Chains A and B, each alone.
Chain A
Amino acid sequence: MMEIMEGSHAVANAVRMCRPQVIAAYPITPQTHIVEALAEMVADCRLDAEYITVESEFSALSACLGASAAGSRVYSATTSQGLALMFEVCFNTAGLRLPVVMSIVNRALGAPLSIWNDQQDSIALRDSGWLQFYAEDNQEATDLHYVAYRVAEDRRVLLPAFVCFDGYILSHTYEPVEMLTEEQVDRYLPKYRPVHRLDSADPISIGLFASPDYYTEFRYQIDQAVKGSMQVIREAGRQFGEMFGRDYASPVEEYRMDDADCAIVAMGSICGTAKDAIDEMRKEGRKAGLLRIRTFRPFPAEEVRKALSGVSSVAVLDKNISLGSKGAVALEVRDALYGSGVPVLDYIIALGGRDVAKKDIKSVVDMAAAGKGDLFYGLREEVLR
């Protein structure tokens, strides 16, 4: 049924239908509405889950890690500084192969303190072993939670997953969202059956110490699992499409790429603006297209290479910056296109909530066509003097 809902509430509703058995989260702007709504559902007995109130995000994810190790389906949500505080636990959750699903309501990282949107927070955890999905709109943000649980808990994967969507731009915006019914979700998402779990009747140890003889092989296995998850993502995404009509089989979305001359590459809600800008440019006879990255981890290098091999310039919009280097998406795209000769230019854009309008997208395409890039877009020179 189509409903007009706030993004956070749509996500909370989707999470409820995924039937998490344990939720541990700490409220932080702009994620608060999600966990607030879930706490209410638990209090009202609309969701049969253990809701653990904790004193920090470090504890929130630690509780999730423990609950997942005990065999439960678990959920958390955070953003920005909260995610930064989870850093250590994030790496451990992935290493222990625990399929925790967490919503990341993307927000800038301090300093300077900012509550507004960019994607620095989840990008900073790109090396942690968590799968990372980025939603363009609230429909996708909602759907990706079902897909994320399916993929994360698949025995070929067993890895945690972030479902990332832009703070405020999506989380606090009311949009029409087609909500699945509980029966539909139950058909798509089977009960979680852990391979092994902490059980005093049948004890195991998890999180063992690994000497230099073993550590490399453990890390290799995790890397193989992250890479191998791509196939499972395709299957789970395709099946979602077959059952509900919205297909997430591809880790990327191509928009007007068929005969595109300049390709924009981006993730998240900025792609909505880019699509509108591309439509206008097309009317003006300019052949621009968009390649939207939905799955950032594992990185879909093959699809990126395929989609971009024929274009004359690639403009990557990065809502993050690996300080001292470039934006994380541009680095990946360049790596994927290595040897192809296609120029990849990077534009650090929309940091800390700075708005991006259609004219900005057009201006980036102009700059890319002129070979001008690898820069912070729209720097206010007057405040730098």
Chain B
Amino acid sequence: MALGLGCSSRPGTSRANRTGSWRTFRPVFLHDKCTKCGLCVSVCPEGCVVADSEGIPEPDYDYCKGCGLCAEECPAGAIEMQKEEK
């Protein structure tokens, strides 16, 4: 996103502005353990975990802050938090 003069911008920047850079830990989804229960999709406070047409969840790292809620709640232990390398 190009910088707007005087920190200004048109409406809608919440989507355009990628906020995932805050992350210190990134959730890594281990699909072989996943039971497609969908809990991670519903607990994500950013709404950035989305299940595909087959029910397989994947986080959107552009917006994921790495809070770890999905990993904490995953009953199958299929989400690992790994240190973010920048």
Contact = CB atoms under 8 A, between A and B. Distances in A.
A211 B21 contact: yes
B21 A212 contact: yes
Interface stretch (B8-16, B25-33, B50-58): B8-16
Contacts of A206: 6-8
A205 B21 contact: no
B35 interface: no
Given A204-B11, A205-B13, A98 B21 contact: no
Given A208-B7, A208-B8, 18 more contacts: A95-B6, A95-B7, A195-B5, A196-B5, A203-B10, A204-B8, A204-B10, A206-B6, A206-B7, A207-B7, A210-B7, A211-B19, A211-B22, A213-B18, A213-B21, A214-B1, A217-B3, A221-B3
B13 A208 contact: yes
A338 interface: no
Interface string A92-116: 0001111000000000000000000
Contacts, number: 51
A218 interface: yes
A98 B21 CA distance: 29
Interface size on A, as a range, is: 20 to 34
16 contacts: A95-B7, A96-B7, A97-B6, A98-B6, A204-B9, A204-B10, A204-B11, A205-B9, A205-B13, A206-B8, A208-B4, A208-B8, A208-B9, A212-B21, A213-B21, A218-B7
Interface of A: 95-98, 158, 195-196, 203-208, 210-214, 217-218, 221
Contacts of B4: 204, 208
A196 B7 CA distance: 12
Interface of B: 1, 3-11, 13, 17-19, 21-22
Contacts of A203: 10-11
Contacts of B8: 96, 196, 204-208
A218 B3 contact: yes
A213 B1 CA distance: 10
Nearest to B18: A213
Contacts of B19: 211
A97 B5 contact: yes
Closest CB pairs A-B (n = 3): A97-B6, A206-B8, A96-B6
Contacts of B3: 214, 217-218, 221
Nearest to B8: A206
B21 to A, nearest CB: 5
A214 B7 CA distance: 10
A7 B59 CA distance: 65
